[in-house]
Amino acid sequence: MGRDRTAVASNGLTRNGYVRCPDSHKTRKHSPYTLEDFKFGIVNTIESKTSACTHDVSAEDGSSADWDPAEDSDPEEKQGVFVEHLGSSIKGTVQYVVADSLGAHGLAGYVESFSGEYFCRFCIASRSEIESPETNTNDFKLRTEDLHRQHVATATAQRVACCGVKSNCVLADRLAFFRVTEGFPPDLAHDLFEGIVPFELAECFKILIGKKYLTFDSLNQLIQSFPYKWSDQTNRPQKLPHTLLSKKTVGGNSHENWCLLRLLPLIIGHLIPEDEEAWQLLLDLKDIVELVVCPVHTDDTIAFLQSRIYDHNHRFKDVFPDKRPLPKHHFVSHYPSLIRLFGPLALLWTIRFESKHTFFKSVARHTNCFRNIALTLANKHQVMMGHYLHLSDGEKTSLQVSHISPVPVEVLKDDIAVCFSQKYPDIAVVNFAQSVTVDGANYKKGMIVAHGSLAGLPLFAEIVQLCVFVGKLVLVVKKRSSWYKEHYRSYHLDPPERELNLLEIGDLLDPYPLYILSSSENGSSPSTSSLRAEPWPAVFPLPTFNYAVDLQLKKANEEFLKSGALFTPPPKMRSDIMQSLASEILRYKPYPSDLEFDDVCKALVGTYPFLRERGSETGYSAWKITLKQKMGNYRSNLRNMGCSELKINSLQGRSEGNAHPNMVKKARRAEVNFCPDYPAGENKESQEEDRVALLTEIQKRNNDEQIKTKMEKTFPLRRQEILQDMPFIADFKSRWPALFSSREIDAEFRRITTTPLTSKFISKLDEYAPKLVKIFKKKGGKHGRKITEIMAVIDERDSIDTRRCCTLKALSVYLNEDPSNLIKEYVAEDFHDAQQQMAKTVIGIYAILHEADDENNDPEEVGVIIEGVTVLRDLRELSIAFPLLFWADVCSQPELPTGSQVHF
């Protein structure tokens, strides 16, 4: 082959081959071309010949039976395949054979038992060396062609296996260019997903259940009730068998085990302590799996994989000192070097052939005749392939979309229209779609894409619309900030920003779309699952209308596309549309603003342009008026049914001092769960019992999880107390002492707004601080001098907290306020006088400073005061107190002191 101008190296059991350059058997370098890069006619010619070398050799006994693979490949290596388009022959050989370990050992001539002394086909290490804790994988001597020939010669002469070799490989005997030691890549499907993963999951589950972190039944319940989405719904793990505690596997196939391991931190991570060794072992295994299945590798990723494998193997010995590692644990230790040899191992696993196996099983089951079944299956398979080749035009369509809705740019919502007009000024009509597939990756609204990176961490955005034009897909997205949570091996996403952006597939860091899953820590407990999960959307999603309405809309759309005729829906249809829109609006808030009504109507006439009104400037004036009326009637009906969020505004539901008919209590802009209803099966009396029990729970040590659960459960009772009774903060603190900690305040703020309080505030402050400093420097006059004095403190003691505090104080001055009205600073030696002044403070932050001769410049104590009551103390930093003070505005709503309104 080295002297031939054209040669193809075929990979056994797969469809694709690699074009090998001249003399490539010496350099071992391969050009990145597959058979699919040839013209279609050439591919057909090659595949018609090379398909003969595609066989499943992994029989139950591991033998190759009557099949001689060399006979199929020998003519292609010596004579080649004549291709008309080239006018010459293309010679080829078998580059590698994809098989499980037993099949590979049987075909390669290795010992087909993994309980012996030498069971690895990649190295000649003995079992005792492999299981020794002092031995590193790098110390094992790898097999080479010369060494393999010596072992074959010894085994043949002595008729006894030598270092795991019992005979020569049949392919190496007949093919001049096939190399045994480099011709059988590992199969991660059997090594990991049907080997190590189910084994370690079962063993670690035993430990976690034994330590009372969870029970077997609760584990099964969590796995089965987890909200799997899209492809994970197909691959969702099965119910764990009761034999789990006696056997060494959780069962399940490769896809199910992979899905279970990948999502396990989100399923049970909230129940497991971070320092649990068995849990850390599973997280190490998850890291290894994620790295191994990567489609692209660099030197850094391979080195990191090697490090994770080393840590995992040592931790396995610590967690299970009495258990012997599986042979597959050793196979995985070779993966870093094998990736350098074969490339990404996910391209070489046997899972690809399970689909073929499914086809053959289906044919055999329906044929119901087993006389010469192999011939029957071969004929059926050839007929199927011929059918597909006949239907195919030889070219794959990179973009596939089933249904589109054309919408003129001029009727789009203003922010979307501006985005398109700026980036694509020549586009007059945009085609919206619900689902689009690009190069095999399926995109849908609500999915997450990575559009860049910052400081080594990915930047995420949520897809809100899919637009197709000029033969390409454009994503309308809202960016979402995130941070990595080590314990969950996942990224926590903040609520999406309101600003819209346009992204093309080429702009993405990784084209593979992701989706959002909620863990039990960040999600709602079953008792609070009725809470709203997101604020008002930037682009209002229309609901699914009933069948009759949908049918009439489709017919009207067809007529509109033909003649441009507008459609006036009959009263019953209009009422049904309004009812559906009102129900969808209530998912976000019961009292939408005028602009939010505009959002809904724009979405309606934007999706269904034939519903636009003649003579209306906006095209939806009558729709908007009708929707407001329908929303008012809908609120009245829900109020009569006892909806808490609406009942507080009825005259019967108000307190004596709050009976004015025009005083309507409704959620402000950021509030999503303003006044939730009691959960199913709960009422005020039952939640009051939980509140009393909570007073006992806070007296116990290390009881954070119980307190957190009860605080989530009693959230509706707290909100109704605040909104209806409007208690003083001292009384409220005596009833709910568990709320007054930085952790629970942050959780309460998240329940109300779905936004993390402290992390969001600090991250945005750090983001905008450089721009604020530039603005401050331009400020002149008395305020400019005051700002300069405040910022000068940074030069004396430069720290993160100092920078943040000085920026916030300077911002107060810039907004024409006195920061001393908000931040009260006292000296420790005058603490008695300070307490008297703090008792007169309506709302603010206090800081107890060290004495003047103390070299420590950090405050001795930081806290928050509301209505003269110290609601928080012993905070870590002064800057942390600022976001916690915002909680007071949202949760307790005190009367603000003069001069502090701009702050809030």
pLDDT at 669: 59
Selection from 718, 687, 694 nearest residue 890 by Cα: 718
Cα pseudo-dihedral 114, 117, 123, 128, rounded to 10: 120
Helices 277-292 and 299-319, interaxial angle, to 10°? Answer: 150
pLDDT at 75: 57
Mean pLDDT across 698-716 = 81
CB-based contacts of 902, cutoff 8 Å, min separation 6 = 815, 816, 817
Instruction: Specify the higher pLDDT residue, 824 or 573.
Output: 573
pLDDT at 851: 66
Residue 652 scores a pLDDT above 60:
no
DSSP, collapsed to helix, strand or coil, labels residue 615 as coil
Instruction: Specify the higher pLDDT residue, 591 or 891.
Output: 591
Assess contact for 585 and 631: CB atoms under 8 A.
Answer: yes
Residue 82: beta bridge partners? 89
Each residue's pLDDT tens digit, 430-465: 888 888 888 888 888 888 998 887 766 788 899 988
What are the CA-CA distances from residue 521 to residues 183, 355, 485, 671, 747 (Å)?
A: 47, 37, 12, 21, 11
Assess contact for 281 and 311: CB atoms under 8 A.
Answer: no
Residue 60 scores a pLDDT above 80:
no
- Give the whole-number percent of the chain exceeding pLDDT 70: 81
Residue 690 scores a pLDDT above 60:
yes
Give 592's DSSP letter.
-
Structure tokens at 463: 């897809």
Mean pLDDT across 758-787 = 85
Element (H, E) at 539: none
Assess contact for 355 and 361: CB atoms under 8 A.
Answer: no
Assess contact for 124 and 143: CB atoms under 8 A.
Answer: yes
The least confident of 484-498, 511-525, 823-837 is 511-525
Whole-number Å distance between alpha carbons of 658 and 726: 10
Selection from 72, 95, 62 nearest residue 183 by Cα: 95
Selection from 736, 720, 730 nearest residue 683 by Cα: 720
What are the CA-CA distances from residue 456 to residues 287, 307, 459, 507, 648 (Å)?
A: 17, 19, 10, 17, 49
The three state secondary structure string of 691-757 is: HHHHHHHCCCCCCHHHHHHHHHHCHHHHHHHHHHHCCCHHHHHHHCHHHCCHHHHHHHHHHHHCCCC
pLDDT at 395: 58
pLDDT at 727: 82
Q: Strand 823-827 vs strand 843-849: parallel, antiparallel, or unpaired?
A: parallel
Assess contact for 7 and 31: CB atoms under 8 A.
Answer: no
Q: How far apart are the first and last CA of the chain?
A: 78
> At 182, is the pLDDT very low, low, confident or very high (cuts 50, 70, 90)?
confident
pTM: 0.57
Strands (E) in 500-567, as ranges, are: 500-504, 510-514
Mean pLDDT across 19-24 = 30
CB-based contacts of 798, cutoff 8 Å, min separation 6 = none
Selection from 181, 184, 183, 179 nearest residue 25 by Cα: 179
Element (H, E) at 8: strand 7-12
Question: Ranked by mean pLDDT, which of 335-349, 627-641, 738-752 comes out on top?
Answer: 335-349
Assess contact for 449 and 731: CB atoms under 8 A.
Answer: no
- The chain-wide mean pLDDT, for the chain, equals 77
Structure tokens at 615: 């003579």
Residue located via tokens 């010619």:
45
List, edge to edge, every strand of the sheet that includes 435-438.
Answer: 399-401, 435-438, 441-444
pLDDT at 63: 40
Each residue's pLDDT tens digit, 282-337: 999 999 999 898 888 888 888 888 888 888 888 888 888 888 888 888 888 898 98
pLDDT at 865: 82
Assess contact for 608 and 553: CB atoms under 8 A.
Answer: yes
Residue 491 phi, psi dihedral angles, 5° rounding: -105, 135
Whole-number Å distance between alpha carbons of 236 and 223: 9
The least confident of 135-149, 165-179, 324-338, 846-860 is 846-860
Whole-number Å distance between alpha carbons of 338 and 743: 47
- Give the whole-number percent of the chain exceeding pLDDT 90: 1
pLDDT at 285: 92
pLDDT at 318: 87
pLDDT at 71: 55
- Sign, CA dihedral 383-384-385-387, equals positive
> At 69, is the pLDDT very low, low, confident or very high (cuts 50, 70, 90)?
low
DSSP, collapsed to helix, strand or coil, labels residue 24 as helix
Residue located via tokens 């331009």:
778
Selection from 724, 672, 717, 765 nearest residue 893 by Cα: 724
CB-based contacts of 584, cutoff 8 Å, min separation 6 = 540, 541, 542, 543, 600
Residue 574 scores a pLDDT above 70:
yes
Strands (E) in 53-139, as ranges, are: 81-83, 88-97
Residue 358 scores a pLDDT above 60:
yes
Residue 13: beta bridge partners? none
Give 143's DSSP letter.
P
The least confident of 59-63, 81-85, 164-168 is 59-63
Q: Strand 482-485 vs strand 472-480: parallel, antiparallel, or unpaired?
A: unpaired
Helices 373-391 and 354-367, interaxial angle, to 10°? Answer: 120
Whole-number Å distance between alpha carbons of 327 and 330: 5
Structure tokens at 209: 């259940």
- Sign, CA dihedral 844-845-848-852, equals negative
Assess contact for 171 and 95: CB atoms under 8 A.
Answer: no
Instruction: Specify the higher pLDDT residue, 47 or 138.
Output: 138
Whole-number Å distance between alpha carbons of 538 and 33: 45
Assess contact for 35 and 23: CB atoms under 8 A.
Answer: no
> At 514, is the pLDDT very low, low, confident or very high (cuts 50, 70, 90)?
confident
